[in-house]
Amino acid sequence: MIVAKTVEEVRKAHPAGKRIGFVPTMGFLHEGHLSLIDVARASGADFIIVSIFVNPRQFGPNEDFERYPRDETKDLALLESRNVDLLFFPAVDVMYPPGSQTTVQVGGVAKPLEGERRPGHFDGVATVVLKLFDIVQPDIAVFGRKDAQQCAVIERMVRDLDVPVRLVFGETVREADGLAMSSRNSYLSPDQRALAPVLQRALRAGERELASRNVEWVESAMRDVAKGVDVDYLVLVDPETFEPPSDFERDLLLAGAVRIGKTRLIDNIRVPQRR
């Protein structure tokens, strides 16, 4: 596996005549990340590039940038085991050289939920993803559906700016008890970890209430299950706009964010349109 730390090293290693699959990550890798590498290959990529970059621009002033979990040695071993061809592992001043001023601002879908609670977060996400696309120049880029609103923001950006990349979204990988795999799960104490699957149970309770065709009933059912934790939001939304659905004759998304101790967990269930 090639390890590149500069833009020039990535471009020099770029293979001619191969289909590039790209998986951007913030490291501290787990099976969820590795599954996206498999998705890239299954989607036709024959040269896999993974990036590891903890992007400071998507963290708010009171968030966990400094303590975000990192384990370079483990990450390298996991990528080697998955036969990744190139790892792009830039420093902050490579991605944002001194004097950098240009950012990407996504409207609409970036405004509700995570966008409202984490001002500037999606601008930071869109900016770094567009930069990574320009550096890596992938044919295929793979993102995980656990971050559903992030997927929608990137999809909107790619469409609006005519970015020549095919986006593929990998399904959420879960622990045996239903908890969505996340690097931030490492923050949880044993007692907190035992409580964490309540988020998925709450979303499933909302899914069972969809037959009511009543948004308030669905959201109330989710809140009832999650009474033991600090709920940020538990909502039913349109997965294209992240606003409340205008009707039930469309794809729907049950989305939630809760805090357990100091750890904020997100998850979602996508429900395809019922034919």
Q: Which has the closest alpha carbon to 225: 201, 196, 209?
A: 201
Range 168-185 average pLDDT? 98
Instruction: Please check the confidence at residue 274 and state whether its pLDDT lies above 70.
Output: no
How many other CB atoms are found less than 10 A from the CB of residue 134? 10
Instruction: Please check the confidence at residue 275 and state whether its pLDDT lies above 60.
Output: no
Instruction: Please check the confidence at residue 143 and state whether its pLDDT lies above 60.
Output: yes
User: Taking the domains of the chain in order of start, what are their residue ranges?
Assistant: 2-170, 183-267
- pLDDT (tens digit per residue) in 79-101: 999 999 999 999 999 999 999 99
Using CA atoms, how far apart are residues 107 and 95, in angstroms rounded to an integer? 23
Q: Which has the closest alpha carbon to 252: 223, 275, 272?
A: 272
Same fold: 2-170 with 183-267 = no
CATH topology of domain 2-170: Rossmann fold (3.40.50)
Range 234-253 average pLDDT? 95
In degrees, rounded to 5, the angle at the alpha carbon of residue 211 between the alpha carbons of residues 207 and 215 is 70
At 273 the pLDDT is 81
Instruction: Please check the confidence at residue 269 and state whether its pLDDT lies above 60.
Output: yes
Radius of gyration of the chain (CA): 19
- pLDDT (tens digit per residue) in 37-90: 999 999 999 999 999 999 999 999 989 999 999 999 999 999 999 999 999 999
- pLDDT (tens digit per residue) in 219-238: 999 999 998 899 999 999 99
Parallel, antiparallel or unpaired: strands 252-260 and 230-237: antiparallel
Which residue's structure tokens are 């109330």? 220
Burial of residue 91, with CB atoms counted within 10 A of its CB: 0-12 exposed, 13-18 middle, 19 or more buried: exposed
At 228 the pLDDT is 86
Instruction: Please check the confidence at residue 127 and state whether its pLDDT lies above 90.
Output: yes
- pLDDT (tens digit per residue) in 206-221: 999 999 999 999 999 9
Q: What percent of the chain has pLDDT over 90?
A: 96
How many other CB atoms are found less than 10 A from the CB of residue 182? 24
Instruction: Please check the confidence at residue 108 and state whether its pLDDT lies above 80.
Output: yes
Which residue's structure tokens are 């879908």? 109
Residues 6+ apart with CB under 8 A from 51: 22, 23, 24, 25, 87, 88, 89, 90, 132, 136
At 43 the pLDDT is 98
Q: Give yes or no: 14 in active site.
A: no
CB–CB of 273/190 below 8 Å? Answer: no
- Residue of 14, 30, 33, 121 marked catalytic: 33
CATH topology of domain 183-267: Pantoate--beta-alanine Ligase; Chain: A,domain 2 (3.30.1300)
